[in-house]
Structure 1
């Protein structure tokens, strides 16, 4: 798959590190950012939808507050810098994307928003709706409330998690190097690796754990960790240089997914404890086999007490056919059993969701 071709990658997550976005003196690299925004706008016109994962809030806030060590001298400094810098970061993105006729949306997340199933569904639904409207989501970790114990720690890994929630087809991590080399790229004879099939011990031995700019929290080691997350989810990931004239078209290292895109649903099929079961008729089971979502019209009975976002089993006349995340709690599902979609709002008293279990959050067994 060519992540750099909109025709081959319908949804792309692009991560920008602090060193690319902020100069050493703490000022925004506005000209570079404007060029990137123009490149993103061209992709949007070609039909590709882009999610931005943007660092830079701490670096910008530290400059405004005159904090030592780029705002990373202590957790309290980092949280304060993030609170101040995030306003500036959001304003800059809104301006450069707005100049290209694009609307930006800010999304701040913590690990719980993408690890807790119910909150994950909410984040995924928000991303899906924004992308369908042609909006460019700009995502960052909510460093103002994140702690050392509960945080992603770097936006490389965050980008991999966001890609899963956004159902992205690829990830590009823009860095200060154009990919992975077999040794430190500053060494004579260092060889660029255009493709890596698997992140193993030999691959990790090539990585440096440091951040050369001193502003970010990542390095090549964190990018390899992100590549491993992406690979297990069936999403290809590229590391490319943000220093090139057209960073989304330049030389890069592509990390291949472990399997096809169905791997992103492997954790659903893999068997954590199920909170309940939906029994469905033969017609609904056939629709699921064809790749459809589970609609209420084909549901017969609900077993168990579960909440929206819980993992549930879907059973047809011949046994279990799928596992997925519930879009409604058990009580609401029982009210909708066998009913048509156009009846749901009257039955529930609020705008309904599209399905009992959406195909994006379902794995066939």
Structure 2
């Protein structure tokens, strides 16, 4: 398969097959395709809508209420029903799945962001399929993602996915509404740095009336993800084996190639990170280890300067005071000062907890090129 780490977003219209009830065959087919994809060695996470639709079905409501508490009530009723279907079908294949409910605060607050990323890394590396939804039952307007398209793009960025697949009730992005315009044609690729205005105008709104998003929200999500180095595909959830086709690199739907590499995206993130004056001074052994691609361990730290929280971007200096790298710390400054020079297996006994063996993991670090030594007399 072309893509190793895949995020799949399934909309309500796909899960209900255009009706007002969950389509059990469609939910089963999604799990089947995910399992076939995992057999190739891919890691897969599923962002799913449908909780409110499941709640409406349980309550025999013809229409969803317009006020937020009513929708939250239906989400609370429908979420366990929806997850139960996924869990049942994944267990039929011997697959372990996990429910993850998020709000915007989980991905904007630095500590929560790091905790969320650590959880996802553990689940994906452990072969588990995370099933993700917005925590509708508690989210207020201020902490909502607004739609699961936006949530899926943020998750794709969080886990540095290779592919974000947005499944909808259309074959992709068209030049017009294919239901009304017989001349509307499918736009197969969007690779411009800025999505053309006419594409936004053609996107329109939600067609099915079942979900909260529409093609516009998918365009926004695609633009966000591709700028973080993620390939995006918008395609029809009803097309046979659509997940397998997209992951194998076949030309289906509308494709958005990444505008930057994942490495470049990480570099930009680290260089743009707020540096509050935090400095980690390291010894020669640690400097050599970093140059070889290793992580910074507490044993290699000589001094911690400044005050900073976990997840802060700090400067890393060698014994001469030259900047070796910048990186995000796994511990705050007060905790790092307690474990300076200690072995990683001593961290828990000293702090009473551990956030990992590394003070700064190599995945969260950007090495800087050594400065050229000045010649005498220059």
* TM-score higher than 0.5: yes
Cα deviation for residue 351 of structure 1 reads 4.3
Residue 322 (structure 1) aligns with? 325
User: Structure 1 pair 121/46, CA: closer, same or farther in 2 (3 Å)?
Assistant: same
Residue 92 (structure 2) aligns with? 99
- 2:25 maps to 1:22: no
5+ unaligned residues in a row in structure 1: which ranges?
Answer: none
Aligned counterparts of 2:175 and 2:203: Cα–Cα separation in 1 = 11
Q: For the aligned residues, what is the CA RMSD?
A: 2.0
Contact residue 269 and residue 364 of structure 1 kept, 8 A: no
Moved more, 218-227 or 273-282: 273-282
Select the residue among 304, 307, 321 that pairs with 1:305: 307
Residue 143 (structure 1) aligns with? 136
Residue 25 (structure 2) aligns with? 31
Residue 342 (structure 1) aligns with? 345
Residue 208 (structure 2) aligns with? 213
Aligned counterparts of 2:7 and 2:25: Cα–Cα separation in 1 = 21
5+ unaligned residues in a row in structure 2: which ranges?
Answer: 247-251, 369-378
Cα deviation for residue 261 of structure 1 reads 0.9
Which of structures 1 and 2 has the bigger CA Rg? 2
1:223-238 pair list within 5 angstroms: 223-238=218-233
User: Structure 1 pair 134/62, CA: closer, same or farther in 2 (3 Å)?
Assistant: same
3-state SS in 2 of match to 1:195 = coil
Residue 249 (structure 2) aligns with? none
Residue 281 (structure 1) aligns with? 283
1:255-311: per-residue Cα shift (whole Å, max 9, x none)?
A: 111111123321221242436221223443343344332221221111122222233
Aligned counterparts of 2:168 and 2:314: Cα–Cα separation in 1 = 40
User: Structure 1 pair 226/288, CA: closer, same or farther in 2 (3 Å)?
Assistant: farther
Cα deviation for residue 206 of structure 1 reads 4.6
1:1-365 pair list within 5 angstroms: 5=1, 8-23=2-17, 25-67=19-61, 69-71=63-65, 73-186=66-179, 187-198=181-192, 199-202=194-197, 204-248=199-243, 249=245, 251-265=252-266, 266-274=268-276, 276-316=278-318, 317-365=320-368
Aligned counterparts of 1:112 and 1:364: Cα–Cα separation in 2 = 30
Equivalenced residue count is: 358
3-state SS in 2 of match to 1:106 = strand
User: Structure 1 pair 302/223, CA: closer, same or farther in 2 (3 Å)?
Assistant: same
Contact residue 273 and residue 313 of structure 2 kept, 8 A: no
Moved more, 28-37 or 332-341: 332-341
Contact residue 330 and residue 355 of structure 2 kept, 8 A: no
Aligned counterparts of 2:321 and 2:238: Cα–Cα separation in 1 = 57
